[in-house]
Amino acid sequence: MSVLFCRRKLGLPCTLLFSYLIVVIGYGVFSYLSSREKELENIDESLRLVASQAKFILPLDFHDRAVTQDSISKKEDSSNVVKLSKYVSSSTASYGVNKVFTLVVIDGIVHVTASSRTPEELKTSKETPYFTPLGAPPPAVLKALRSHKPVVTDKLDDLTPARTLLLPEKSPSGRPYLACSEMVMTEVEKRVDAYMWRSLATSGFFILMAIPLVLIFRKTDKTHIEEFESIRELLHDKTLNRTSVIERKLNEFISKRKSKEKKPDGDTKKN
């Protein structure tokens, strides 16, 4: 009976605590997913903003002329590399963008027409990236060219994992090309994971707040159980006492009855 009592007394607190934990965990998951989505949107907006400035850094007619390997000199390409690299290092450091470049599709092959470089690449590499072939157009490139809308992909190539935005543009003569900007995945994951840890910390804080309530419930339940046990023992003792009194009175009654039954017999013999 005491076990049943404990279960009944603990049922409501346990249900409330379980519901509280479900709400806290659900809030943490929702907060992380919504914050993650919002941060990815912010990253994509930064990538779009950076990519949209490439056409103002390169010569106005650059993509009208950049159609063959020999149409742009190494001197002009080197100048473009320096200007784009300075733009990335100075203007986009706060955005976390690490590369800006442009692409064209000529005869079914994707070519790099201009690209920024890191300071290390500028020091060690003498080759210019102009008109470097990248192979057949990946799905993201085709989608951007056909839809005329920005496309974001995490798999533009297998060289460096990065989140890349492809922004469709047109040269003054109407030749299509793509202005691109990318952020390495380590930077993307670092920004997204910051929200995950924040959500975990918030959920953990609210869960820790529930510990005092658990202790209060536990102490209260223990007190109730002890009170119940005391009452049960008291009732048990009273029941035993009452049973003893009843047995004693019953025995007295039986004794008196027997004595009354014997007394008439004695009177009859005397007469």
**Is 35 part of a structural domain of the chain?**
no
Q: Cα dist. 42→134, 155, 191 in Å?
A: 29, 19, 10
Quote the pLDDT of residue 248: 64
pLDDT averaged over every residue in the chain: 78
Q: Look at residue 46 and tell me whether its pLDDT is greater than 60.
A: yes
**Is 237 part of a structural domain of the chain?**
no
Average pLDDT over residues 152-158: 84
**Is 165 part of a structural domain of the chain?**
yes
**Is 249 part of a structural domain of the chain?**
no
96: domain CATH number is 3.30.450.20
**Is 117 part of a structural domain of the chain?**
yes
Question: What's the pLDDT tens digit per position in 198-208?
Answer: 666 676 666 66
Question: What's the pLDDT tens digit per position in 62-77?
Answer: 999 999 999 999 899 9
Of 20-29, 88-97, 150-159, where does mean pLDDT reach its minimum?
Answer: 20-29
Quote the pLDDT of residue 193: 78
Question: What's the pLDDT tens digit per position in 92-146?
Answer: 767 889 999 999 999 999 999 999 998 888 877 766 779 989 899 999 999 999 9
For 156, what's the count of Cα atoms within 13 Å in the CB-facing half-sphere? 24
Q: Look at residue 182 and tell me whether its pLDDT is greater than 80.
A: yes
**Is 110 part of a structural domain of the chain?**
yes
**Is 103 part of a structural domain of the chain?**
yes
**Contacting residues for 63 by C-beta, under 8 A, at least 6 apart:** 102, 104, 113, 169, 171, 175, 177
Pick the more confident residue, 257 or 181. Answer: 181
Instruction: Please answer whether residues 107 and 189 qualify as being in contact, where contact means their C-beta atoms are separated by less than 8 angstroms.
Output: no
**Is 227 part of a structural domain of the chain?**
no
Strand 151-153 with 132-135, pairing: unpaired
Quote the pLDDT of residue 3: 40
Quote the pLDDT of residue 5: 41
- Between CA 219 and CA 148 the distance in angstroms is 67
Three-class SS string for 89-154? HHHCHHHCCCEEEEEEEECCEEEEEEECCCHHHHHHCCCCCCCEEEECCCHHHHHHHHHCCCEEEC
**Best CA proximity match to 117, nearest among 90, 134, 137, 98:** 98
Domain that holds residue 87: 50-191
- Between CA 237 and CA 235 the distance in angstroms is 5
DSSP for 157-179, please give it: -SSS-EEEEEEEEE-TT--EEEE
**What is the total count of domains within the chain?**
1
